[in-house]
Structure 1
Amino acid sequence: MYESLLEAHAPVFGRILTHLTEPDGLPALFHCRHGKDRSECRGSGRSSRPRASTPRTTARCSGPRHAMATVLAGLRARHGSVEGFLTERAGLTADVLVELRTRLTTARPPR
């Protein structure tokens, strides 16, 4: 279910992630109206760098612990990496990926 959601709506996820790199893109809050799983699909991609540990990534998943690991493994199998999915299917550029990673992993002073 989650893999098909990501594949079918890849451009939407691309727009969501691209918006986070815009000047007014962060802070951001997103949620799913009826649960947490679809929101978790949006949030998990940001921490799935090749060196990220799968248990750490899946710990934030509200569904079965193996669900997000299965999704990420499927994306890697079809696209070579999560980054491959984001560039091939979701339309992110290399520059957006770098900016997104920087913004989501760099501490910022409180406003």
Structure 2
Amino acid sequence: MVARVDGDTLLHMLVEALTTLPHDAPRTSLYTAGINTVTRALEDRIQTVREGRKLEGRMPHLLFVCVADMEPPTLVAHLPMLTANYNAAVSQKPASHSEHSPRDPDSVDPRP
């Protein structure tokens, strides 16, 4: 089940995510936008982990979808399962391929 959040919670999550970013990082490289681009990025990372290759670049931590703006909403219906697959893949990657602890720092934030 996909968790739904109210506007205040969403705003708090966005502010928290943006204020914890390094200030010297170029902002254009920190975001992935668009259904197809996000889908490709998650699928590529899943494939990279499954092939035992090292993940490069920043790891996605938050995925925001405004289902109310989607017409039809089925355009984003695959994202919860894809996010779950991504989280499972990065949590199982070998320690030698991890830049972080093997727990969950690389997974997309599932907060309700």
Q: TM exceeds 0.5?
A: no
More helix by share: 1
Q: In terms of Rg, which structure is larger?
A: 2
TM-score, with length taken from structure 1: 0.30
TM-score by length of 2: 0.29
